[in-house]
Every structure is written in C-alpha cells, then in structure tokens.
Amino acid sequence: MILAMTTKRTVRGWAGGLGLFALASAGVTQLHAQSPSINQRPTIARALIGSSRIRSGDFKSAGTSGICGEMPKEVMGIARFVIEFPSDVVPGATLMSIAFGSDQLVGRVTKATVFRLNVNVKTANGGTPPAYVLNTDGTIPNSSGTATLTPGANGAVTLRVVGQERDGETIDLTVTCS
C-alpha cells in the first residue's frame, strides 16, 4: 500500500502532514494518482533575499526534498503543487528550509500569482532570523509575486519565485528537483 509506505517517510509542514491526516481519517488506503516521484527527490535551491535589515544575502542548499511536486486532489481535497525542503538537516547549508504551496500550479499551469512561501536561512554571521514569509493569497496584505514552473528532462522540475513581502523585502528563489 502506498499510504503505508508514505507514512514511514518524514513528511514535514502543513502540506504533507494535513494530507496524510486527511487520508488516514477518511479511511483511504491507496493513493491511486500519487506518483512516487514527488517524494524524496534530489534538490538544489538558491534564494537571493534583498532589502532586508536582518537577512539580505545569497543562500544555498542541496539535499533531498521531503516532497516536491503536485499532490493530487485525493490527498487534500484540492490539487496543490508543494515543496517541502529539505527532508533532513543539510550540513553547511545557508538555506535551511523551504515550504511552498500553490493551488494554481497544477495540471499544465506553469505560472501563478497565488501561493504561500516560507524560507528559513542562516546568515553569514551564523544567525538564524525569523522566516521570510511571502503569502500572496491575501492573508498578508501588500505581498506580491510570481511563481513559475519549468519542466526539465527526466521529470525534473524547476520552481522560480520572484516577489516582495509587505515590508519591502524581496526574494528570488530557484528550486530544482530531479
């Protein structure tokens, strides 16, 4: 059963945890449309954050995503493109974690203006400031951005997010899952 295999893996954040809870409570035992390729994917990520007093810089990481891809409608009641990175601590990384979700980037859609993004970084002096949050879904006013998906060879996908949060901090994030 795919659900049994999936629950043995580490699923972090709001996207994965809620989906598995919903499946378990609904009594679903299989994910018919679930592609195993969205779990545990090799991933590289880079975030350029600007106009910030506490976290401006160029942050990078490479490791394994817990989830990277489109979660089918059967998981959460609505199809959603999700990235939860990394699945485990990446030694030496300055880009500590990424949580991204968009209900618009599903099917064959490659560009969205409604999404939620949370990025945690480690600064050059070793500090770990509060997360950079860019929610363009209306929950945080004066936040805007564009998320673009680009398919690659052998099922790889690249997500690029360019945006600005309510306090004027900017982000240019690129995540490639292979």
Q: Say how far apart CA 166 and CA 58 lie, in whole Å.
A: 20
Residue 142: what pLDDT? 93
Query: Tokens 């991204």 label which residue?
Result: 100
Radius of gyration of the chain (CA): 16
Q: How would you class 147 by CB atoms within 10 Å of its CB: exposed for 0-12, middle for 13-18, buried for 19 or more?
A: buried
If one compares 20 and 173, the residue with the highest pLDDT of the two is: 173
Q: Looking at the 3D structure of the chain, how many domains does it have?
A: 1
Report residue 102's pLDDT band, with 50, 70 and 90 as the boundaries: very high
Poorest-pLDDT segment among 2-6, 45-49, 66-70, 161-165 = 2-6
Residue 25 has pLDDT above 50, yes or no: no
Model pLDDT, residue 20: 36
Quick check: 19 pLDDT over 60?
Answer: no
Q: Give me the chain's average pLDDT, please.
A: 83
Question: Could you give the CA distance from residue 85 to residue 40 in angstroms, rounded to a whole number?
Answer: 9
**Closest of 101, 72, 73 to residue 85, by C-alpha:** 101
Which residue range forms the structural domain that includes residue 44?
2-177
Q: What is the DSSP string of 7-74?
A: HHS---HHHHHHHHHHHHHHT----TT--GGGEEEEEEEEEEEES-TTT-EEEEEEEEEEEEEEEPHH
Contact of 46 with 16, CB cutoff 8 Å: no
How far is Cα 129 from Cα 94, in angstroms, rounded to an integer? 12
With cut-offs at 50, 70 and 90, classify the pLDDT of residue 34: very low
pLDDT value of residue 17: 41
Residue 175's DSSP bridge partners are 45, 159
Q: What is the pLDDT of residues 109-158, one digit of tens each?
A: 999 999 999 999 999 999 999 999 999 999 999 999 999 999 999 889 99
- To the question of pTM greater than 0.75 for the whole model, the response is yes
Q: What is the distance between the alpha carbons of residues 136 and 5, in angstroms, rounded to a whole number?
A: 33
